[in-house]
Amino acid sequence: MKEGKDMNSEEKLESETDRIVIAPDGTLQVPDVPVIPFIEGDGIGPDVWGATRRVLDAAIGLVYAGRRKIRWMELLAGGKAHNQTGKPLPDETLQAIKDHIVAIKGPLTTPVGAGMRSVNVALRQKLDLYACVRPVRYIKGVPSPMKHPERVNMVLFRENTEDVYAGIEWESESPEAHTIIAFLKDRMGVDIAPGSAIGIKPMSRAATKRLVARAIKYALDQGLPSVTLVHKGNIMKYTEGAFMKWGYEVARERFGDRILLESNIGLEVPRGKVVIKDRITDMMFQQALLRPETYHVLATPNLNGDYLSDALSAQVGGLGVAPGANLGDNCAVFEATHGSAPKYAGQDKANPASLILSGVMMLEYLGWKEAAKAIEQAIQKTISEGLVTFDLARNMPDARELKCSEFAEAVIDRLVKPQC
């Protein structure tokens, strides 16, 4: 683990007062100079993280005039960790995130079909970051395949720890796969083709309820009119169907008269209330294209949420501008929605907006809303002036294509202290 190069020796001494803590009532207590760990990431990670860090520091410097500052602390994970320690996810990294409560990371590469399991999935599971939160909102000027991308304004809460996506699976012809196939045949009377690979799809009442409760609380706190439970319960009745059932259960138990069902509302949702509705996943993909304005917060199991968040991001212009956060009760890790895009690694070319906007979410989470707003407005201004990276420039005839680092500089040049 190593601290940022630009710190003086006095700053390097971390004390307890530099740490973010969670108060007994569950609220976050953030000192003026918190230590926040970062993971640079693989592939385009160093480029997009470098750009993000510069924008975050510049906005905080401008808005708080030295009163607040982040002391960055590098943690190792992914390729860099493997090269330096022999492990893709060292225990020290996990412990440091637990100790510091809030962290931010670049994308990490996972080999497909073989090799190590996903470090991203391991981080989420080991830190119990059960809610992957992805706001999907249109930034004016970004090229989109939709006629009205501005109608898409949703926040997706995706369960992060369970489901087939959690990676409990065994290779075809492995002893474990043979054992399970034999067990299913002998004890349950289920025939599975010999030599099949096996994956397990666990979904629990407890994990579902905490995810859905978080989504409903968010909708109520933000004054959003609806939460939609997205599931494939018509086919997978006891997993996905239960997700819907447990979702309604926690809505009734925890939020009582603050919730309404779709069947008992008119066109207007009364203030202070939220409508709980549900949609089958395939139908939700259609609705996201045809009537996006009628959806506000989505709560989904892990795999549905993975597909849906990329599809929704595409509707507003692609992965390069889609931010995200992985939240638990004890810590939070902010990250871009996209992966490590290896073919653009080291070219100073990738779009850093997704990670910068994930940093904006982090600032909001810390309660540093003024700095968050300053960055959001500056990104909006930069893009609307046609200053964009290659991924957007190729669909914007009048745009000027910038490198990753130049985009960060353009955003910094447009930072203005917001009138809050």
Q: Give catalytic residues, as residue numbers.
A: 165, 232, 282, 306
- Minimum CB separation from ligand NAD for residue 358, in Å? 10
The nearer residue to ligand NAD, 68 or 338, going by C-beta atoms, is 338
The nearer residue to ligand NAD, 115 or 397, going by C-beta atoms, is 115
Spatial separation of the C-alpha atoms in residues 162 and 303, rounded to whole Å: 9
The nearer residue to ligand NAD, 163 or 278, going by C-beta atoms, is 163
**Tokens describing residue 397:** 């005839």
Helices (H), 8-101: 9-12, 45-64, 79-85, 91-100
Angle value at C-alpha 113, between 110 and 118, nearest 5 degrees: 30
Spatial separation of the C-alpha atoms in residues 296 and 227, rounded to whole Å: 6
Hey, what amino acid is at 368? W
The nearer residue to ligand NAD, 108 or 360, going by C-beta atoms, is 108
- Minimum CB separation from ligand NAD for residue 118, in Å? 6
- Minimum CB separation from ligand NAD for residue 417, in Å? 28
Q: Is the dihedral of CA 246, 247, 251, 252 positive or negative?
A: negative
The nearer residue to ligand NAD, 102 or 227, going by C-beta atoms, is 102
Q: Are 154 and 296 in contact (CB under 8 A)?
A: yes
Residue nearest to ligand NAD (CB): 339
Which residues, including other chains, have CB under 8 Å from residue 66's CB and lie 6 or more apart? Answer: none
Residues making contact with ligand NAD (CB under 6 A): 44, 48, 107-110, 120, 319-320, 335, 338-341, 343-344, 350-351, 354, 391
Burial of residue 206, with CB atoms counted within 10 A of its CB: 0-12 exposed, 13-18 middle, 19 or more buried: exposed
- Minimum CB separation from ligand NAD for residue 38, in Å? 13
Q: Any idea how long the chain is?
A: 420
- Minimum CB separation from ligand NAD for residue 320, in Å? 4
